[in-house]
């Protein structure tokens, strides 16, 4: 039986480790280090060793890079100390001064901030577009457009983009495509198979799974890999050995945790959709979510993050009263860990290409590994506070 025929659950238990190189130990050990000692002048001057300085890789780092590349169907992978760092690394790989970047209006807000604070300063022109633009994206292409950024589903609002269509149209004009694939991970969405040149993942989320590390990963297809690796090597923006070890550990259980997050989130989301205070659910698996049909066509599943739109009439003070007194749901900006989280949000604060005008207040939920009935009880009590606030 060839390892190429293994299902993803089996692959995840084997990727990025070789017990023969590890003296029989199951897990790749932690290699800390900066200096590498060479046997000869020739080896030193011509970089003939497998590793030649700590910033360019160690066995621990390479184990994770190789594992993620195989999982993603990529030519190669590099890492950074955070998801936002991975976004920056990908954008700097495809952009130069004077280029034009297309960015979805639903993008993760720190990515938007990086565009404003860093890219604009160095002469990159940025146009934000409707994530549901479809074929009309070609009307936004310019002669200097070098990069089309995608995020599917969109941050907080969960629009699903037609990635195969957009990457095909970009490729026809020599435009590079980058996707933030953190929500689905390569388990539920194969970004490179759908035409993306670079795929970004915040390993902080489901790869970690335990809310105890920060990490970003960028994988590349064969055409874009040399440029990505050259940019990475020029910056030495790599995570620590301990974080890579923890990420490799998280990789082993990621499929089980992701499938469980999917099951629990769908159960909670369906229950919430029936509550009298709720207007609708923003979840790609729900028919009313923008791009649902594309999600059914392109994705193999959904994760534990979704949003809720309340019916009109509730005040911000009532929402604060609801959230300030939650017993299980914590308020925090990350997700993908074992704990359930909630944040209120308002996309209208930053959108420029589309209007965000839902009928009521909105919250985003991360469903963790707590008992689902306990979560529903916590939410029901919170909804009671929302309704009772005067």
Q: Which two tokens stand for residue 266?
A: 């769908």
CATH code reported for the domain at 256-388: 3.90.1150.10
Confidence at residue 12, expressed as pLDDT on a 0 to 100 scale: 64
3 state SS for 305-370:
EEEEEECCCCCHHHHHHHHHCCCCCECCCCCCCCCCEEEEECHHHCCCCCCCCCCCCEEEEECCCC
The residues spanned by each domain of the chain are: 3-250, 256-388
Relative to beta strand 100-104, strand 176-180 is: unpaired
Confidence at residue 6, expressed as pLDDT on a 0 to 100 scale: 81
Q: What are phi and psi of 319, to 5 degrees?
A: -65, -40
Quote the CA–CA distance of 261 and 340 in Å, as a whole number: 10
Relative to beta strand 305-310, strand 362-366 is: antiparallel
Fold of 3-250: 3.40.640
In CATH terms, are 3-250 and 256-388 the same topology?
no
Confidence at residue 19, expressed as pLDDT on a 0 to 100 scale: 66
- Within 8 A by CB and 6+ apart from 344, the residues are 316, 319, 320, 323, 361, 362, 363
Confidence at residue 218, expressed as pLDDT on a 0 to 100 scale: 98
**Nearest residue to 226 (alpha-carbon basis) of 74, 338, 332:** 74
Confidence at residue 31, expressed as pLDDT on a 0 to 100 scale: 82
β strands within the chain, DSSP E: 76-80, 100-104, 125-129, 145-151, 176-180, 198-202, 216-220, 278-282, 305-310, 341-345, 362-366
Written as tens digits, the pLDDT of the chain (390 aa) is: 456 678 887 776 767 667 677 656 667 878 888 888 888 898 888 887 788 787 888 889 999 999 999 999 999 999 999 999 999 999 999 999 999 999 999 999 999 999 999 999 999 999 999 999 999 999 999 999 999 999 999 999 999 999 999 999 999 999 999 999 999 999 999 999 999 999 999 999 999 999 999 999 999 999 999 999 999 999 988 899 999 999 999 999 999 999 999 999 999 999 999 999 999 999 999 999 999 999 999 999 999 999 999 999 999 999 999 999 999 999 999 999 999 999 999 999 899 999 999 999 999 999 999 999 999 999 999 999 999 986
pTM beyond 0.85: yes
80 burial (CB, 10 Å; 0-12 / 13-18 / 19+) is buried
């Amino acid at each position: 039986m060839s390892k190429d025929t293994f299902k993803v659950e089996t692959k995840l238990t084997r990727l990025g480790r070789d017990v023969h190189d590890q003296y029989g130990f199951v897990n790749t050990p932690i290699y800390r280090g900066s200096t590498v000692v060479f046997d000869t002048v020739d080896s030193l001057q011509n970089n003939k060793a497998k590793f030649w300085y700590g910033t360019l890789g160690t066995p621990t780092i390479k184990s994770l890079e190789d594992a993620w590349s195989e999982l993603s169907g990529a030519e190669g992978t590099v890492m950074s100390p955070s998801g936002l760092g991975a976004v920056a690394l990908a954008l700097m790989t495809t952009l130069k001064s004077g280029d034009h970047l297309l960015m979805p209006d639903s993008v993760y807000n720190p990515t938007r901030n990086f565009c404003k604070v860093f890219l604009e300063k160095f002469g990159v022109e940025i146009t934000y577009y409707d994530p549901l633009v479809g074929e009309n994206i070609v009307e936004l292409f310019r002669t200097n457009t070098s990069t089309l950024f995608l995020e599917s589903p969109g941050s907080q609002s969960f629009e699903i983009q037609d990635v195969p269509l957009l990457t095909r149209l970009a490729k026809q004009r020599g435009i590079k495509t980058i996707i933030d694939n953190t929500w689905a991970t390569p388990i539920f969405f194969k970004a490179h198979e759908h035409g993306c040149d670079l795929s970004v993942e915040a390993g902080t989320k489901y790869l970690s799974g335990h809310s105890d590390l920060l990490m970003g990963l960028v994988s590349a297809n064969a055409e874009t890999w040399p440029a990505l690796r050259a940019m990475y090597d020029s910056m030495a923006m790599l995570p620590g050995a301990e974080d890579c070890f923890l990420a490799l550990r998280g990789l082993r259980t990621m499929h089980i945790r992701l499938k469980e997050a999917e099951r629990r989130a769908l159960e909670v989301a369906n229950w919430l959709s029936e509550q009298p205070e709720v207007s609708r659910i923003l979840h790609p698996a729900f028919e009313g979510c923008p791009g649902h049909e594309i999600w059914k066509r392109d994705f193999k599943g959904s994760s534990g993050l979704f949003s809720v739109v309340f019916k009109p009439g509730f005040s911000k003070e009532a929402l604060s009263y609801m959230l300030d007194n939650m017993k299980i749901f914590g308020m925090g900006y990350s997700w993908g860990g074992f704990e359930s989280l909630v944040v209120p949000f308002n996309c209208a604060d930053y959108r420029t290409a589309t209007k965000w005008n839902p009928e009521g207040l909105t919250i985003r939920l991360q469903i963790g590994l707590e008992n689902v009935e306990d979560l529903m009880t916590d939410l029901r009590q919170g909804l009671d506070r929302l309704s009772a606030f005067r």
